[in-house]
Structure 1
Amino acid sequence: MRPLTSLRLVVTTMLACALLLMLGAGVVIWSGWYNVGAAVQHWQPVYTLLEFSMRRSVQNHAAGTRVPPLTQELRSQGAGLYRSYCLACHGAPGLAPDRMGRSMQPVPGPLTAARRRWKPNELHWIIRNGIKMSGMPAWEFHLSDAETWALVAYLQYLPETSPAKAVPATPENSEPLLRSENAAPSKNLERGRNALAQYGCRSCHVIPGVSGSQVQVGPALQGLNGHSYIAGYLPNTNENLVRWIRAPKAIKPDSAMPDLEVTQQDAEDMAAYLRSLKK
C-alpha cells in the first residue's frame, strides 16, 4: 500500500470514529438518558474525566499567581472565614458538613487534604473563581484578595490541627466578614459582566452575554439606554442605576428586587455593562 493511500485511510478512520462519538454523544444528550439528578452518583469514568479536566484547568489558569507570605495573622483570620463560608459544605476535623454539603454531587469533601492536592496559588484561584457545575461558588466579588489568601493560609494549617481547635467558635453578635470594597478602581465591562453572574442576577433576568436559563421572573436587561425609567420609578441615569443595583429596597420598599449587598465599584461595573447592551 502506498504511503499516501495509507495516510488517507488513517485520516478517514479517525474522522469516522470522531463522527460516531459525536453522534453517540448527541443521542445520549437528546434522549435525556443520562441521569443528572444529585441523588445518583456520576459514573466513575465521568467523575474521573471531570476531575482531571478541572485539575488541568486550575493548574493552567493559576500558573502565574504570586503567593504572598502566609503568615500566622493571615491563618488566624482565615479560621473565622472558614467557619463562615466553608464549613457548611466541607466540614473540618471533628466537624461534619451540614445536610446540604453531605447531599451534593459531586460531594465537596473535606479540605484537610487540600494542602497535599493543591499548591497555594491553585487554592487561591479555586476560591476566587469557583468550579462550574460543582456547587463551588466564585468568591471574587464577595471576599477581598487578602481574605482569599487568609483562607489559603488556614488550609495550609488545617491538617496539623486537632479537631477541638480546627475552627474557632463564632462570637455572639459578631459582624459578618463578607463584603469587600477593595475592587478595581475603574469601570470595566468584562468585570461588570462577571459581577452580574456572581451576584445571581441571571437567576431572575435574561442578560445578553451571561449564560443561564430563559427565566421570566424579571425583565430582560437589554436596551436600558432606551428606557425613560428604571424599574418604572427612577429617572434613567447612570447614578440612579447604580443606586438601584446597590439598594433597591431603600428606593422602592415593595419591590421584589432583593438587596444583594453589592459594593459601589461592583455596581458601577455592572451598570456600565448593562448600558453597553443594545436592544
Structure 2
Amino acid sequence: MASDRTRLILKTAIYTLLAAGGIGAAAGYTVYQVGWYNIGANTQHLQLTYTVLEQAMHNSVRHHAKTVVVPSLGDTGQVLRGGALYREHCAQCHGGPGFAPSAHGQSMQPVPGPLVDAAERWKPRELYWITRHGIKMSGMPAWEARLNEPDTWAVVAFLNRLPKLDASAYRAMTAAAVTPATDNAQTSAVTATNATGGAVLRGDAGRGKKILAQYACQSCHKVPGVTGSDVDVGRPLDGLARRPVIAGKLAPTQDNLMAWIRNPQAIEPRSAMPNMGVTERDALDISAYLLSK
C-alpha cells in the first residue's frame, strides 16, 4: 500500500516536472519567435541574465587559462610598450585613470568594465588569455591577429601596473609612440593539399581557418567551416581551387590569392573589397585554408 502511494507520488512529480518544462519551452519559443525580447543596446540585460553570463565567463576564462605559462613580467621597457599598446587598443572601451572611454565604449551593452583594478581580479595568465582570445557576445575582440606574443604580454605587464597609477602617471606611461612589431613566429611548411588534388599548399591551414575570422571575412562572405550570418556581399569562398579564375582575372594559385587578400585594389581598383591590413604570414595561412576547401 505504501509502495503504491510512493509510486503515485513519484509519477505525479515526474509528470508535473515534464509539464512545467514543456510549458517553459513553449513560452521561451514564443518569446523567441515573436521577438518580444528587446535586443537593443540602449536597454539593459535582466540582472539574472547578466549575472549568469558573467559568472559563466569567469569560469570559462579560468578553465582555459590554467595551462598558460607566464613569462617574466615588469621590465620597464615592456611596461612602457604595454602602456602605448593599451592606449591604442584598449583605452577607447575601458578608459584609464582620469581618462574616460570613447563614446562607443560608453554606449556598449554590456558596458566594458574599467581595467584599473583588473590585476586585482584576474591572474596574469587570465589577462593574457582574455586579451588574446577575446570574449564572445561582449564586444571584447580577440587580439591574436593584431598583437604578437611579446606585445600581448606587454599589455598584461601594463595592466599589472595600472592599479598603482594616478591620472598623471597614466598619461606619462601611455605617451610613447607605438612602433610596428615584428612577428617572428614560424609557420608550418606543409599542412594541406589543394582541393583539386594538385599543388601542396604552404602555410598552416588550421591556423588560417581560425585567423580569417579575426579579419571579419565572414561578415561579407560565406566561408566553408566558419559560422556566420547568411550574407551575400561577396561571393562564397568555397571551391576557390576549382575556379578557373579568382578576383575575375587571376589563376587560382596560392601566391595570387595571397596578393588579392593583402591588397585587392592593386589587382582590381574598382573592387569594393577593402584592404584589411592582412600580414604576409596571415595571408599565407588563410590562403592555405581556402584553397584546401
TM-score, normalised with respect to structure 2: 0.86
SS at match of 2:159: helix
Residue 207 of structure 2 corresponds to 191
User: Is 1:154–2:171 an aligned residue pair?
Assistant: no
Change (3 A) 1:176 1:24: farther
- Is this contact kept in 2: 1:83–1:167, CA < 8 A? no
User: Is 1:43–2:46 an aligned residue pair?
Assistant: yes
Residue 232 of structure 2 corresponds to 216
SS at match of 1:270: helix
User: CA separation in 1, counterparts of 2:171 and 2:87?
Assistant: 6
Residue 23 of structure 1 corresponds to 26
User: Is 1:136–2:140 an aligned residue pair?
Assistant: yes
Residue deviations 1:3-31, cap 9 Å, x none? Answer: 99476666555554444433332222112
Change (3 A) 1:125 1:11: farther
Q: 1:180: how far off? A: 5.1
Residue 91 of structure 1 corresponds to 95
User: CA separation in 1, counterparts of 2:150 and 2:131?
Assistant: 12
- Is this contact kept in 2: 1:79–1:167, CA < 8 A? no
User: CA separation in 2, counterparts of 1:183 and 1:141?
Assistant: 12
TM-score, normalised with respect to structure 1: 0.90
Tell me the C-alpha RMSD between the 2 structures.
2.1
User: Is 1:32–2:32 an aligned residue pair?
Assistant: no
Amino acid at match of 1:65: V
Change (3 A) 1:11 1:269: farther
- Is this contact kept in 1: 2:187–2:204, CA < 8 A? no
- Is this contact kept in 1: 2:218–2:226, CA < 8 A? yes
Residue deviations 1:27-51, cap 9 Å, x none? Answer: 2211211111001111111111110
User: CA separation in 2, counterparts of 1:12 and 1:182?
Assistant: 62
User: Is 1:257–2:273 an aligned residue pair?
Assistant: yes
Structure 1: state its 5+ residue gaps. none
Residue 260 of structure 2 corresponds to 244
Structure 1 or 2, whichever has the larger Rg, is 2
SS at match of 1:234: coil
Residue deviations 1:73-116, cap 9 Å, x none? Answer: 32111000001001111100000001011000000021012112
Residue 182 of structure 1 corresponds to 184
* Superposition map of 1:69-84 within 5 A: 69-72=72-75, 73-84=77-88
Moved more, 179-188 or 44-53: 179-188
User: CA separation in 2, counterparts of 1:145 and 1:2?
Assistant: 66
Matched positions, count: 274
SS at match of 2:99: coil
Q: Equivalent of 2:283, from 251, 267, 271?
A: 267
Q: 1:167: how far off? A: 3.5
Q: 1:176: how far off? A: 5.5
Q: 1:189: how far off? A: 2.8
Amino acid at match of 1:82: Y
Residue 54 of structure 1 corresponds to 57
Change (3 A) 1:232 1:76: same
